[in-house]
Amino acid sequence: MSTTFKLDTSTSRANPTPAPMKRVTVPAIRNRKGKEPLVMLTAYTARTAQLLDAHCDMLLVGDSLGQVIYGLPSTVPVTLDMMCAHGAAVVRGSYHSLVIVDMPFGSYEASPEQAFESAARIMQETGAAAVKMEGGVHMAPTIEFLSARGIPVMGHVGLTPQSINMLGSYRARGKGNAETANLLDDVKAISESGAFSMVVEGVMESVAEEAMTVAQIPVIGIGASAKCDGQVLVTEDLLGMFERTARFVKRYDNLAERIETAAAQYAEEVKARSFPGEAQTYRPKEKK
């Protein structure tokens, strides 16, 4: 499957020309350490990106699309093809937020060279300015390799969903002394690797707050602490698309219920032949 898209630079709703504002840059995000909180949400489609763009500093094309869009059991089966297709859609649908694309499981762990090849493909095919990868101490040399070669990397430590088969569950991390010490080692290693920011996911609040002092780059929390440099959530979670979510999710809407209500009403009207109505029906114009 080819996922190569030509970036559209013509005037359209998604990419007005000239662009109404300059896209947020990687250095601008790095400079927000300890300043105004950074707002990040996931987006997988152009339309969602359009709706979120003005409210966010960063849009993350997360590999959570595996579960959210494709109904997969975890992020493990997500492919580079999927990330490239959705990454390109989100770039087309936004002009303000920095777009970051997740590197999927299996596309970067083998070597820095493998990671460079995958990240370069993502950036070339999507137009995104940065990638995100999971892992702490062991991934730091890879992040250093990529950063030195023009690829901005966001780290991701704490609960790392791609390692679900090693972790055994999605429980919060940092409960004991040993786990906390390892976690803070990861935070320090990523901070010193050249990453421009990092996600800290699913950790005890006290650990997140310590991570904030250890890290010299912005820490984006998800199930971490309100004191982080920024927050991220999966957009479909905050919209209330799923009945079961992690404890750290706050639902700002109940979209699942509203979609079901709309679908039920549509079905009723189709069966009653009251849809389409007058307003939705083409008829020849009456001659005067």
Q: How far apart are CA 140 and CA 149, in angstroms?
A: 14
Residue with nearest beta carbon to ligand KIV: 62
CB 38, min distance to ligand KIV, A: 13
Strands 153-158 and 197-201: parallel
DSSP symbol at 72: -
Q: What is the CA radius of gyration of the chain?
A: 21
Give whichever of 38 and 199 is closer to ligand KIV, judged by the CB atom: 199
Residue of 85, 82, 97, 105 lying closest to 130 (CA atoms): 97
User: Out of 201, 257, 269, 278, which one is annotated catalytic?
Assistant: 201
CB atoms within 10 A of CB 129: 20
| One-letter identity of residue 121 | R
Cβ-based nearer residue to ligand KIV, 127 or 155: 155
Q: Minimum distance from CB of 132 to ligand KIV (Å)? A: 7
Binding site for ligand KIV (CB under 6 A): 42, 60, 62-64, 102, 156, 199, 201, 222, 232, 234
Q: Is 269 a catalytic residue?
A: no
Minimum distance, C-beta of residue 283 to ligand KIV, in the bound complex (Å): 48
Closer to ligand KIV at the Cβ: 60 or 189?
A: 60
Nearer to ligand KIV, 60 or 184 (CB): 60
Q: Which two tokens stand for residue 229?
A: 């440099």
The residues that are catalytic are: 201
